[in-house]
Amino acid sequence: MSIIYGERVRLRAAEREDVKNFYVWVNDPDVTRYLSLYLPMSTVDEENWFNSMTQRSQSEKTLVIEVRDGNGWKMIGNCGVFDIDTIGRLGEIGIMLGEKDEWDKGYGTEAMSLLVRHCFETLNFNRVYLRVYAENLRAKRAYEKAGFVEEGRLREAVYKNGKYDDVIIMSVLRAEWIAQMKEK
C-alpha cells in the first residue's frame, strides 16, 4: 500500500523506529484514558507488539498518522483496521492520537476519513465500524463528522478508572459514504 494523503494528514506504514513514540503514548494516562489499555507497557511489550503486528496481513498493519511540519512530516498518532471479515466485507477501525499538543485541530477526523476511504476504496468493505466509550464525547463528534452513526450501545461494558462506562458501536456503510462523498 502506498502512503494515503489527505489535505493536512497522511497515513503511512509503521516502522520499527516509531515504536519509541508508541511507547511514550501508551504510557500516558491522558492518551490512554479512552483506550482499552489498562496497565503500563514496557519497551519490550511495545517491541513484541510491533513484531506481532508485522506478521498480520497487509490490510491489518498499523498506519502512522502524520501532519505537515514545515517541509517535513510530524508523527502524531496511529490508526488501523482489524478483525476483518472477508465474507461480510467489514472491519473494525481504531485510532490513537498521542501528541496532545495536536489534539482539537481536526486531525483525528481527517485521519478517520482517510482510513474510511481506504476501507471502501482499497479494501472493498461494505461496512466499517468502531467502538467508543460513551464519555468520550470529543471522539464521538469526530467520528460523526467522518460519517459514522451510532448503531448500538453496550451498557456498562468497560471498567476503567474505577467506574463502568457504556461502549457505543458506530458504523458507516458504503452506500452512506458514497452519498456523503457526492454531497461534498
Q: Which domains does the chain have, with CATH numbers?
A: 4-183 (3.40.630.30)
Higher pLDDT, 35 or 76: 76
State how far the alpha carbon of 121 is from the alpha carbons of 50, 83, 113, 117, in Å: 26, 18, 12, 6
Considering the chain, what is the average pLDDT of its residues? 95
Look up the pTM and report it: 0.94
Among the listed ranges 26-40, 87-101, 164-178, which one has the minimum average pLDDT value? 26-40
CB hemisphere CA count around 74 (13 angstroms)? 14
Interval 162-175 mean pLDDT: 97
Residue 117: the pLDDT is: 96
